[in-house]
Amino acid sequence: MGNGNIMSGIEDTALHRVITVEAYVSGKVQGVGFRACVRNIAAGLSLTGIVQNLDDGRVFFAATGDSASIDKLISSLHECPRAIVKNIDAKEVPLRNFDGFNIVRIP
């Protein structure tokens, strides 16, 4: 009985480790409400971060939160209406703190 609880606690701790991920998303992801979709999904998962269009047609986002929620965000990107996600290049980076999850507009 005790061993199961210890293993469960270890797995829960690993799954809920707070991380920051940066990702570049390519496909038809600009001009289709994709950034708002990313922000809404992230906010619903209690993640913080930023999302912005890039000049090359991709969308960049950085998100901080527990690793399970980050995984859910990434897997949910294909569900954004009107967007066609072809590739997601995501990697963990040093922890960053954000105030909410915001769309960044480049002047």
Asked if 24 and 89 touch (Cβ cutoff 8 Å), the reply is yes
- Whether 5 shows a pLDDT value over 60: the answer reads no
Active site residue 97: no
Average predicted confidence (pLDDT) for the chain = 89
Domain edges within the chain = 17-104
Active site residue 35: yes
CATH assignment of 17-104? 3.30.70.100
Catalytic residue, candidates 17, 39, 40, 53:
53
Note the pLDDT tens digit of each residue in 9-38.
Answer: 444 455 579 999 999 999 999 999 999 999
The stretch 34-59 carries a mean pLDDT of: 97
pLDDT tier at 69, thresholds 50, 70, 90: very high
Catalytic residue, candidates 3, 17, 35, 97:
35
For 51, the token pair is 């999302």
pLDDT tier at 43, thresholds 50, 70, 90: very high
